[in-house]
């Protein structure tokens, strides 16, 4: 078997196939340098969904459950301090409250926090209007995850005559699937601070969404812009400015932080916001693509679904790529 694409999805699929005893090679000219290289690594099924995305919530929760085993197998840290939603001003707090109401309706644990409780939970934050804690959410360092996966699965040349091909090439699918996924540029900054937040913070600042994902050693990822476009993803001055401005209003210590790196990559977005996992319409070619904002979170579930599909023919109807092809005809 061959997997096209050595991002976190392709590599996790390959690792799962290898674990089940299949001979597998991953093919990618630049392994782990696509969207996974930019990703902050939020394992935040609740903090990253919105009204109408209940399927994503279900899938994200199922995949979050698989992460502790995957992280342990790979020997990478999984931080599970939860996610703090925060609103900078009263309008932003309404956004937090709407999201908390959606999650409560779906039976998720949401702990409402007033301004003082937010400061108590995260002393590094500045003055905010209030927030909510989502316990149980987590984060990983996607670069560490990909490095560990690359030690476990062979990356090589395209295998001529491979019995099965899994296409996991992120925002750039080959023909005839190219049009099923489009790029949504995300710009992120990497910082180093002596006063980082302790857990993932997902905030709104005057309507601008922003997140901070700490690694526990002073490193913090600040993200992310979100912009549909056709041009190659580049880090823009405007995107950087917006991130820094929103980030420092939530987290004043940002001013003193070392700005280590800026990265821009395309998230692979589908028309209906759900990934494409399963039959491609071409014999012996399976898609594992279109994960949008959720590639890191959904990687282990995708790996399981792809391996199950190849072994049993089973397909999750919500993710079946043929829905998108029918729509395109
Ligand atoms: N899941 C974070 C992002 O896509 O920016």
Closest residue by Cα to residue 295 from 322, 281, 276: 276
pLDDT at position 49 is 85
Q: Which atom of ligand 1 is nearest to the CA of 296?
A: 1
Tell me: the pLDDT tens digits for 166-181?
999 999 999 999 999 9
Least confident of 102-111, 145-154, 235-244, 253-262: 102-111
Ligand 1 centroid from CA 297, angstroms: 10
* Lowest model confidence (mean pLDDT) among 99-108, 116-125, 136-145: 99-108
User: Quick one: which atom of ligand 1 is closest to the CA of 267?
Assistant: 4
Pairing assessment for the beta strands 42-43 and 138-139 based on DSSP bridges: antiparallel
Ligand 1 contact via 293 beta carbon (within 6 Å): yes
pLDDT in tens, 274-327: 999 999 999 999 999 999 999 999 999 999 999 999 999 999 999 999 999 875
Distance of CA 326 to the CA centre of its chain: 27
Read off the pLDDT of each residue in 74-90 and give the average, rounded to a whole number. Answer: 98
pLDDT value at residue 327? 54
Residue 106 has pLDDT above 70, yes or no: yes
Return the number of other C-beta atoms located less than 10 Å from residue 211's C-beta.
Answer: 26
pLDDT band with cut points at 50, 70 and 90 for residue 73: very high
**Which residue has its alpha carbon closest to ligand 1 atom 1?**
293
Confidence at residue 157, expressed as pLDDT on a 0 to 100 scale: 83
Burial environment of residue 276 by CB neighbours within 10 A (0 to 12, 13 to 18, 19 or more): buried
Question: Which residues does 317 contact at the CB level (< 8 Å), separation at least 6?
Answer: 323
- pLDDT at residue number 329: 42
Q: Using alpha carbons, select from 79, 95, 109 the residue that is nearest to residue 202.
A: 95
Predicted local confidence at residue 326, as pLDDT? 73
CB distance 48 to ligand 1 below 6 Å: yes
The chain-wide mean pLDDT, for the chain, equals: 96
Q: Which residue from 186, 188, 290, 297 has its CB within 8 A of the most atoms of ligand 1, so it is best to mutate?
A: 186
């Amino acid at each position: 078997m061959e997997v096209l694409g050595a991002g976190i999805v392709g590599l996790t699929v390959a690792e799962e196939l290898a674990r089940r005893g299949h001979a597998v090679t991953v093919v990618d000219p630049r392994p782990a340098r696509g969207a996974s290289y930019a990703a902050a690594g939020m394992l935040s099924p609740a903090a990253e969904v919105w009204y109408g995305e209940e399927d994503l919530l279900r899938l994200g929760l199922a995949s979050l459950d698989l992460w502790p085993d995957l992280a342990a197998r790979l020997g990478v840290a999984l931080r599970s301090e939860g996610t703090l939603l925060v609103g900078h001003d009263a309008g932003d707090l309404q956004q937090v409250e709407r999201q908390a109401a959606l999650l409560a309706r779906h039976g998720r644990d949401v702990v409402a926090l007033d301004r003082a409780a937010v400061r108590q939970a995260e002393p590094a934050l500045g003055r905010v209007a209030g927030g909510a804690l989502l316990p149980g959410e987590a984060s990983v360092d996607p670069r560490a995850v990909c490095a560990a996966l690359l030690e476990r699965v062979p990356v090589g040349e395209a295998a001529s005559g491979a019995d099965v091909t899994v296409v996991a090439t992120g925002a750039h699918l080959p023909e005839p699937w190219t049009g099923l996924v489009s790029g949504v540029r995300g710009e992120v900054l990497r910082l180093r601070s002596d006063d980082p937040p302790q857990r993932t913070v997902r905030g709104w600042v005057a309507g601008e969404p922003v997140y901070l994902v700490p690694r526990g050693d002073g490193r913090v990822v600040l993200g992310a812009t979100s912009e549909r476009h056709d041009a190659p993803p580049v880090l823009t001055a405007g995107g950087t400015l917006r991130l820094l401005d929103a980030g420092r209003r939530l987290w004043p210590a940002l001013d003193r932080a070392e700005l280590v790196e800026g990265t821009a990559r395309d998230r692979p977005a589908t028309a209906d916001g759900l990934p494409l996992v399963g039959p491609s319409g071409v014999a012996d070619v399976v898609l594992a693509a279109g994960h949008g904002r959720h590639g890191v979170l959904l990687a282990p579930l995708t790996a399981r679904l792809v391996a199950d599909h190849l072994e049993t023919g089973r397909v999750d109807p919500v993710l079946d790529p043929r829905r998108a092809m029918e729509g395109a005809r």
